[in-house]
Amino acid sequence: MFLEREIHAPLRRRLEEGGKVLLVFGARQVGKTTLARHLIAELPLKALELTGDDAVVSGLLASRDAFRLDELVSGYELLFLDEAQRIPEVGLALKLIHDRHPELRMLVTGSSALDLASRTREALTGRTWSFHLHAFSYRECLAVRNAFEQDRRLERDLIYGMYPEVQAFDTDADRGAYLRELHAAYLFKDLLEMGGLRHPRKLVDLVRMLAYQVGSEVSYTELGTSLGLSKDTVASYVDLLEKAFIIFRLEGFSRNLRNEVTRNGKIYFQDLGVRNVAMGDFRPFAVRQDQGALWENFLIAERRKRQLPGVENRFWRLRSGAEVDYVEIEGANLRAFEFKLSAKARAKAPASWVAAYPGAGWQQIHRENYMPFIAG
């Protein structure tokens, strides 16, 4: 299934403008190469496609030989470099090409942000536009299905997630097989090939443990004790998993009260298919004990896909136990949300929240009103 991605139009506009290097980051298999090739096909530009998986290309770019790089791009109007994270110090090579050929449009994709984003941006200060590509979003899917049709797929999506290929398969058996292959061969590839990763097997074990703790506050000390790792090592692995777009974190929100909890954050998965394959659990939604965790992860992950830059995401809890599932901070605006599967499970904003933040918005999101929350 082909969907026009939400970043397609702004990415095309920047590509037509020229003048800067366009960086597209995202997890493996979310459609970065497909998106880039569609863009290139739309534009009347002579394009050169290279990949960092090609040892010759990687060696040439890493050498930063100006004469050979001039030869490489000569006669082309657009350079598309895929899998850029495979090339050592790729930012310096891109800077050299950009400075010597400012008229050349450059589109660069990377399957993780493992220092690639920071190193590339540092080398290309003032020369880039950056984009993040997620797996498919419900907002994007509504371009080809109406809300009723999309809602009918909800329970399946809560189990198998939103990866483009998963969405294209006709059977759950194929969806599960694809996710198992993704988990075994691709998902941790960038992480496991890093020379500084001392305990690769324990990284996979950590992902499985995090999958069981979705929606709960996470203690790095407790995880480290279970894995036989130090708290600092666990923290560094969590940071790597976030940079590889496998998980994301929510920190506690606090402004007013001394007993607001901010020490331990919560961890969610960018895609529920990845979470469930890490657990080895593709049971139907109706029979699962973790329905609440799946629902909460789904809503927050989908909401983040539609957010504009600058929106902060948090949760809120007091030591007394009062809590709010999800808090958004956008400038001076504060919005709180409570997640329930059933509309019958009526909930009110905690009195302590209302007293501390009387001007904040509050809304309960449930099975009957979730679509505007995640899709606009």
Handedness of CA 99, 104, 105, 106 (dihedral sign): negative
CA 271/CA 246 separation, integer angstroms: 7
**Largest Cα–Cα distance of the chain, in whole Å?**
69
The tokens describing 168, both together, are 């294209």
294 pLDDT more than 60: yes
Instruction: Reduce the DSSP state of residue 337 to 3 states and report it.
Output: strand
Q: For the chain, give me the number of helices (H) and strands (E)?
A: 19, 11
Structure confidence at residue 347 (pLDDT): 79
Q: 195, 302, 296, 313: which is closest to 250 by C-alpha?
A: 313
| Residue range(s) of every CATH 3.40.50.300 domain in the chain | 8-132
Q: 135, 134, 122, 136: which is closest to 21 by C-alpha?
A: 122
Annotation: CATH topology of 8-132: Rossmann fold (3.40.50)
Structure confidence at residue 193 (pLDDT): 67
Beta-bridge partner residues of 51: 82
| DSSP state for residue 249 in the 8-state scheme | E
| DSSP state for residue 253 in the 8-state scheme | P
Tell me phi and psi for residue 329, to 5 degrees: -120, 120
37-50 pLDDT tens trace: 999 999 999 999 99
35-83 pLDDT tens trace: 999 999 999 999 999 999 999 999 999 999 999 999 999 999 999 999 9
Order of all β-strands in the sheet with 78-82: 47-51, 78-82, 105-110, 21-25, 128-132
Which stretch of DSSP H or E encloses residue 157?
helix 154-160
The tokens describing 33, both together, are 């190469």
The length of the chain in residues reads 376
In one letter, which amino acid is 170?
D
Instruction: Reduce the DSSP state of residue 129 to 3 states and report it.
Output: strand
CA 73/CA 47 separation, integer angstroms: 9
Q: Which residues contact 93 (CB under 8 A, 6 or more apart)?
A: 61, 62, 64, 69, 87
333-353 pLDDT tens trace: 999 999 999 888 777 899 999
Structure confidence at residue 119 (pLDDT): 58
314-339 pLDDT tens trace: 999 888 888 999 999 999 899 999 99
249-291 pLDDT tens trace: 999 988 866 777 677 899 999 999 999 999 999 999 999 999 9
Handedness of CA 361, 214, 238, 86 (dihedral sign): negative
108-163 pLDDT tens trace: 998 765 555 555 666 777 788 989 999 999 999 999 999 999 999 999 999 999 99
pTM listed for this prediction: 0.93
Structure confidence at residue 114 (pLDDT): 54
